[in-house]
Amino acid sequence: MTTLVLVAGAWHGAWCWERVPPALERAGHRVVAVPLTGVGERAHQLSSQTTLATHVEDVVAVVRAEECRGAVLVGHSYGGLVITGAADRLGEEVGRLAYVDAVVPTPGQSWADGNPPETRAARRAAIAEHGHLPPPPVSAYGLTGDDAAWVERRQTPQPGGTYDDPLHFDADRWAARPRTYVDCTAPAVATIEPSRRLVRTQPGWEVVELATGHEPMVSASDALAAVLLEVAGR
């Protein structure tokens, strides 16, 4: 049995993984989805004081409280930053990393650093005005119909302090870990493009492509679960 610790991207909560765990659990694996401070199930804790470091600590605390030794850390989108920081903190307490259409940071990089200049300007302006980042329209994720409505009504603002908080970690220790990248190609979200390029030029990556949009846990949950089953079985 392997434990998979699931970390959502921005504006989302643990709820977004709802369709993925059944297949993993039927195969005998354990799944723990982490709610992050100020968003999703913990939206009542929204504060500009919440940072990327806060979310890293959320994951570290859950892994230790749930005794998830050897777990696969799975991060979606912004959650790629979070699992990178958590893995650095946890060291040998956890195992493989899986990035689902996610940000792959370099040491000292923030979420903002990977965005195009126009995106950074718009998001910083939104944070200055609201103290947080309002959710984008779900059409940006390639969702339509009932799937779009399901995500639309559950998204919550993202704490503004998560955007420019830099992530410091040991690059060599991180590079020694086994890592899988799930690249969602239809449509491909522009803000993830730097990470897509990075994982194809940096050694040590397994890259799996899924012909779906940015929310494969919603739009292609069976295909994503199959990839995670392969990862968990190693």
Active site residues: 77
User: Taking the CB of residue 91, how many other CB atoms lie within 10 A of it?
Assistant: 9
Cα(61)–Cα(110) distance, integer angstroms: 22
| Sequence-separated (6 or more) residues with CB below 8 Å from residue 2 | 29, 30, 70, 71, 72, 232, 233
Over the range 172-207, which residues count as b (16 or more CB within 10 Å of their CB) and which as e?
eebeeeebbbbbbeeeebebbebbbebbeeeeebbe
Cα separation, 215 vs 3, in Å, equals: 22
**81 touches 108 (CB < 8 A):** no
Signed CA dihedral, 110, 174, 192, 215: sign only: negative
Closest by alpha carbon to 71, among 5, 119, 161? Answer: 5
Cα distance between residue 1 and residue 6, in whole Å: 16
Those residues whose C-beta lies under 8 Å from the C-beta of residue 58, and which sit 6 or more positions away, are 34, 35, 36, 37, 82
